[in-house]
Amino acid sequence: MISVDNFKKCAFKIAFVYEDEDMNTLPLNIRKIFNKKYKTNIPFIEENNVPVLYVGLGERSKFSFKKIKDIVAYSIKQIEKYSIEDVSLDISTFLKEYDIRCVSEIVLGVKLGLYKFKGYNTSKKQEKYNIFFQGYESCDEESIMEEIKLGSNIAEGVILARDLVNTPANMLTPIIMAEKIADMGKVAGVTVEVFDENYIMNTCMEAFYTVGKSSGNPPRLIVLRYLQDPSSKDITALVGKGVTCDTGGYCLKPSGSMEGIKGDMGGGAAVVGAIYSLAKNKIKANVVGIIPACENRISRESFIPGDVINSMAGKTIEVLNTDAEGRLILADAVTYAIQKENATKIIDIATLTGAVVNAIGFSTAGVLTNNNEFFKEFKEAYSKSCEQYWRFPICDEHRDMIKSDIADIKNIGKSYCGTITAGLFIEQFVENTPWIHLDIAGTAWVDTPLYEYQAKGATGAGVTSMYYLFDEKE
Ligand code: BES
Ligand code: MG
Ligand code: ZN
């Protein structure tokens, strides 16, 4: 729990110092051994008997807004070494340098830094801390509290996404995923409608249906409606891949690649997290979340390489690889967004290609878009969120790579530029709608965390960037 109290005496205090800061209130021996470099700390008992953990920020010129979340997460994790409940966090150093929005970044640092997937280990207990922000004399308490609330709601959205992705496939079938999202909708005030396999078939979503019927756990189309800006005719669809289990189907993945199969609904989870945060913070926006949720498995009903299938848009697809299932279900979800939800803008987000990891690694997600204006808006949003993205080029030569001899389009290209051809497959279904495609296959999951605010496993990638697209406060 995070609250504010400038006067609360806590058992423990955390404070931040730049390298150039003179800590002349401390004894010389302490000053000498604490170098104040980024991510170093020194515990010290102050005169009034309060233990203080000083955390180095490194050189002032090298520190930036983007690092707040990281260093706060680092510092808060240090308390796990001690047996304490109440901690005060001196945020004055940040408030001196940055505007009040830094408070929500600090909150994200605290909450995401302490995040642990509850898991199923019956002997593990969850630590609870009371954290008091202090040193905000320069601002009024109410605005600080308001900012803490906003930040907490954003952090909860990220955590919601992480929890969904970390949940094993046997405990998160498409049906269970739909139930969990409906529960979230009730808490946050979002309308959630769930369509079953019969609706999917009767609406001619054959591409989605074909992948879904490979499993005994039937598919679900999960739709979240948050329409809270009557002054605008814009409706942005956030379309998130919700493959709760991707074995690859008949193009079975090698066992080494199976570890991440439960995480193939990272795009759908990000959509849920972003809409949760928007609703909790009462942001004025018209957003529809669309999550095609299904499994990709081997069974008597499974599709096989060489099959030609139809799609809701009426385009025929030659399936040459059953492991390229994400684009199939997203194609129909995008058509559904246009035809049934009247979307005027589309973002699709998916753990779509291993190729994006080869191209740009685990720190950066791939982007394709057909609209410079829309991308500019998204760029502003992701800069605020401090996530990293990189835009890929689109050329007609790339489009040629997914032309089929026997159908309108095929679901894989040659083994080059797989991220581009996957995105361009979806482009075939967006018509003239301004569209942004986010490939988060590299960023949604980390075996080795890159930042202090990540934990091994799901990262919640995409939540904050999509959130800030609609929360345009400076
Ligand atoms: N879900 C995977 C992509 C993926 C790979 C996500 C690694 C996270 C980590 C997707 O369905 C897939 O299997 N893609 C194939 C496409 C290929 C068959 C054209 C891939 O990237 O290998
Ligand atoms: Mg696959
Ligand atoms: Zn997949």
**421, two tokens:** 């051809």
How many structural domains does the chain have?
A: 2
Domain closes at, from 47, 79, 114: 114
Exposure on the CB side of residue 156, measured as CA atoms within 13 A? 18
CATH number of the domain enclosing 311:
3.40.630.10
- Same domain assignment for residues 166 and 92: no
Is 133 within a domain? no
Distance between CA atoms of residues 292 and 329, nearest Å: 6
Q: Is 253 in the active site?
A: yes
Res 126: pLDDT: 66
pLDDT profile of the chain (474 residues), mean per 10: 89 95 91 96 88 96 97 95 91 96 98 94 78 93 96 98 97 98 98 98 98 98 98 98 98 88 96 98 98 98 98 98 98 99 98 97 98 98 96 98 98 94 98 98 97 98 98 82
Closest ligand, as measured to the CA of 440:
1
Is 142 within a domain? no
- Same domain assignment for residues 96 and 169: no
Domain closes at, from 90, 114, 138: 114
Instruction: Please give the backbone phi and psi of residue 18, each rounded to the nearest 5 degrees, phi first.
Output: -80, 160
- Same domain assignment for residues 95 and 163: no
- Same domain assignment for residues 172 and 98: no
Q: Is 327 in the active site?
A: yes
- Same domain assignment for residues 191 and 84: no
- Same domain assignment for residues 180 and 283: yes
- Same domain assignment for residues 329 and 434: yes
- Same domain assignment for residues 279 and 356: yes
Res 401: pLDDT: 98
- Same domain assignment for residues 416 and 312: yes
Atom of ligand 1 nearest to the CA of 261: 1
The answer to whether the CB of 334 falls within 8 A of the CB of 429 is yes
pTM of the model: 0.97
Is 109 within a domain? yes
Q: How far is CA 98 from CA 36, 40, 68, in A?
A: 20, 22, 10
Residue ranges of the binding site: 241, 246, 264, 323, 325
- Same domain assignment for residues 307 and 401: yes
Residue ranges of the binding site for Mn(2+): 241, 246, 264, 323, 325
Res 241: pLDDT: 98
Is 135 within a domain? no
Is 370 within a domain? yes
Closest ligand, as measured to the CA of 292:
3
- Same domain assignment for residues 44 and 179: no
What is the span of the domain harbouring residue 45?
2-114
CATH number of the domain enclosing 52:
3.40.220.10
Pocket, ligand 1, Cβ cutoff 6 A = 246, 248, 260, 264, 321, 323-326, 351-355, 412, 418, 441
- Same domain assignment for residues 304 and 450: yes
